Amino acid sequence: MIINPYSFGVAYDPDAQAFFTASGLTGATNLTAINQLVVDLKNYGIWTKMKAIYPMVGGTAALHKWNLKDPQDTNAAFRLVFNGGWTHSSTGALPNGTNGYADTFLDSTNNLSLNSGHMSYYSRTNLITASFVVEMGSLAQSPDSYTGISTCSANQTHFRFNNFSALDVITATTTLGFFTGSRTASNIIKTFRNGSLIINGTAGSNTTSTRDYYIGASNFSGTASFFSSKECAFASIGDGLTDAEAGNFYTAVQNFNTTLTRNV
């Protein structure tokens, strides 16, 4: 279905319009939120750093699967394929914590680089547990390359990107909000919550991986593992972000979710 970009006097950003056309997304609030998100990311100079943006808007698996950066229904465009148990609603996509995950078809070897990358996950669930949980990522062995963002894993918050086993952590106090992990150098790896730095890490990079990143779990050497049960209202993968970019990224995503009345 083609959305008229001039209906009601509105001219949408071309990338937002491409997303509407491909996905069939409707609803004035949804369209406004997506369009403003695209405009904000471009104004902040962040859009070009994104490989995949999953706004989780529309309330169904068929609408939540789309990559805003490249809205084509193909593995090469990194659209999601949902597996296992998920609950899809207007507030986001909720994995069941036992077998629910989504394959992004995106890895660091072919799409990113050793020392520049980020992941983000907007969690609408507050759940601190002692179990090992990964909101998104992959853990590859032989060679060892660990990438993943966890709002709370064994009572700790952490982010790894092309790491060996070492990681920088803090004690988890909440799993609500927008968590962003970013590596910008071999020894600079940071984690932000709601745009504020919470971990100023130094864990070194090791090697890239050809394992696809999963959302709702980690791809552990080809098997979905360490399942999350935190509702996702936005996720992204791309190049590394500076502190200022991470702060602006939060502003854009929070405005997006506020428009959709699902911000936390």
Q: For residue range 66-95, list pLDDT tens digits in order.
A: 999 999 999 999 999 999 999 999 999 999
Q: Which has the closest alpha carbon to 16: 44, 46, 42, 45?
A: 42
List, for residues 164-202, the tens digit of each pLDDT value: 988 999 999 999 999 999 999 999 999 999 999 999 999
Amino acid at residue number 50 = M
- CA dist., res. 121 & res. 158, Å (int): 12
List, for residues 126-166, the tens digit of each pLDDT value: 999 999 999 999 998 878 999 999 999 999 999 999 999 88
Mean of pLDDT values over 225-231? 98
Q: Which has the closest alpha carbon to 240: 190, 169, 173, 178?
A: 190
DSSP state of 203: P
Contacts 24+ apart (CB under 8 A), 256-261: 256/33, 256/34, 256/36, 256/37, 256/40, 256/55, 257/122, 257/233, 259/29, 259/32, 259/33, 259/36, 260/29, 260/30, 260/33, 260/57, 260/90, 260/233
Q: Which domains does the chain have, with CATH numbers?
A: 50-245 (2.60.120)
Band of residue 9 on the pLDDT scale cut at 50, 70, 90: low
Spatial neighbors of 225 by CB under 8 A, at least 6 apart, are 134, 139, 217, 218, 219
The alpha helices in the chain, defined as continuous H runs, are 14-23, 28-43, 61-64, 108-111, 243-259
Mean of pLDDT values over 46-69? 98
- CA dist., res. 181 & res. 189, Å (int): 7
Q: For residue 50, what are its two tokens?
A: 């994104």
